[in-house]
Amino acid sequence: MEGTNFTVVMEFILLGFSDLPKLQGFLFGVFFVIYMIILMGNTLIIVITWVDPALQTPMYFFLGNFSFLEICYTSVTLPRILLNLLTHNRHISFVACAAQLCIFLILALTECFLLAVMACDRYVAICKPLYYSLIMNHKVCSILVSGAWISAIPVVIILAYQIFSLPFCGSNKLNHIFCDIHPLLKLACGDTSLNELSVYINGVLFGMGPFLLILVSYIKIITTILKLPSTMGRSKAFSTCSSHLMVVGLFFGSSLIMYMRPKSIHSTGIDRILSIFYTVVTPMFNPLIYSLRNKEVIYALKKLLPK
């Protein structure tokens, strides 16, 4: 705009929990403990699925990859949150913000795809048990996991490029705990309706897509389980799926509400709570859910850890 003074944003200020000055130390302690639980819990699952011969199956191969993903996923946001709470230095450069958003979205979409792959694995195991070892061989499992990790990269790069190509002028105060889509769009100058439409389309295709695949898989799984003649057989089949279903509900429930809500009902408080839930709380519960509800994992832990 010729003749108008404006400042191009070169860095952002992550406001985070700055509105709770008396709770900075308490919040640091809480998030630090949660981060340690996430690191130790998921590392333990990776180790037991790697060293225990009884867990050298496709289901635990996917679980080990999922645990590694959870460590990466939380490490993108939680260390920065802890640093901000400890030092009160909330500045983040434009490039660092773009990198954080890119990596975070890639890992989030990878989690969607990997949860869908794990649902397909349970479908083959329960609905086609005689062909399970033939269909879910090591090569197929490796391709599925690699596809889950790689598929999100081009989608996210295009989306992030669209967002960070927008002019950011005026306020650089990002009212969020990390660099995320909706808070960034609020700071952009000009019309962002096309960018918001792009976010919804990508959310439907790459968020709802895996969710619908999981839903269809479990409809078929439940239908097959109900046809089993023995109560014990039905109970065992349900137990192999319950942990995965709980994780799916926690992750997709919070993330879809966060990204698929209309702009008119977005609020800073709700966004912050939801983002904490799917970036911090859910990854903390995942190793607990898989270990406490899985007899094979508990047995492997008993063998690995001192009594």
Eight-state DSSP code of residue 13: E
In angstroms, the CA 42 to CA 176 distance is 26
Q: Nearest 5 degrees, angle CA 135-CA 123-CA 235?
A: 125
Looking up tokens 């081009």, which residue turns up?
A: 154
Instruction: For residue 93, count other CB atoms closer than 10 A to its CB.
Output: 11
Predicted local confidence at residue 4, as pLDDT: 45
Q: What is the mean pLDDT of the chain?
A: 83
| Rounded mean pLDDT, 256-267 | 65
- Check if the beta carbon of residue 276 is closer than 8 Å to that of residue 177: yes
Tell me which residue of 240, 226, 213 sits closest to 294, measured CA to CA. Answer: 240
Instruction: For residue 241, count other CB atoms closer than 10 A to its CB.
Output: 21
Helix/strand/coil for 7:
coil
In angstroms, the CA 259 to CA 149 distance is 21
| Rounded mean pLDDT, 222-233 | 77
- Strand 173-174 to strand 11-14: parallel, antiparallel, or no bridges (unpaired)? parallel
Task: Walk across the sheet containing 11-14 and list its strands.
Answer: 91-93, 11-14, 173-174
- Check if the beta carbon of residue 177 is closer than 8 Å to that of residue 77: yes
Tell me which residue of 171, 196, 173, 176 sits closest to 185, measured CA to CA. Answer: 196
Model confidence over 32-56: pLDDT tens digits?
999 999 999 899 889 888 888 878 8
Predicted local confidence at residue 79, as pLDDT: 92
Structural domains for the chain? 11-304 (1.20.1070.10)
Predicted local confidence at residue 38, as pLDDT: 92
Handedness of CA 118, 123, 126, 130 (dihedral sign): negative
In angstroms, the CA 300 to CA 291 distance is 10
Model confidence over 145-164: pLDDT tens digits?
999 999 889 989 988 898 88
**3-state SS of the chain: helix, strand, coil percent to 5?**
80, 5, 20
Label residue 304 by pLDDT band (50, 70, 90): confident
DSSP strands (E only) in the chain: 11-14, 91-93, 173-174
In angstroms, the CA 32 to CA 81 distance is 10
- Check if the beta carbon of residue 174 is closer than 8 Å to that of residue 12: yes
Using CB atoms within 10 A of its CB, is residue 22 exposed (0-12), middle (13-18) or buried (19+)? exposed
| Rounded mean pLDDT, 192-209 | 83
Q: Which two tokens stand for residue 69?
A: 């993903």
Tell me which residue of 177, 184, 186 sits closest to 17, measured CA to CA. Answer: 177
Query: Given a cut of 80, is residue 256 above it in pLDDT?
Result: no
Whole-model pTM: value is: 0.86
Label residue 242 by pLDDT band (50, 70, 90): confident
Return the half-sphere exposure (C-beta side, CA atoms, 13 A cut-off) of residue 282. Answer: 27
Eight-state DSSP code of residue 16: T
| Rounded mean pLDDT, 79-103 | 90
Share of the chain above pLDDT 70, in %: 88
Label residue 5 by pLDDT band (50, 70, 90): very low
In angstroms, the CA 190 to CA 192 distance is 6
In angstroms, the CA 243 to CA 67 distance is 14
Predicted local confidence at residue 216, as pLDDT: 92
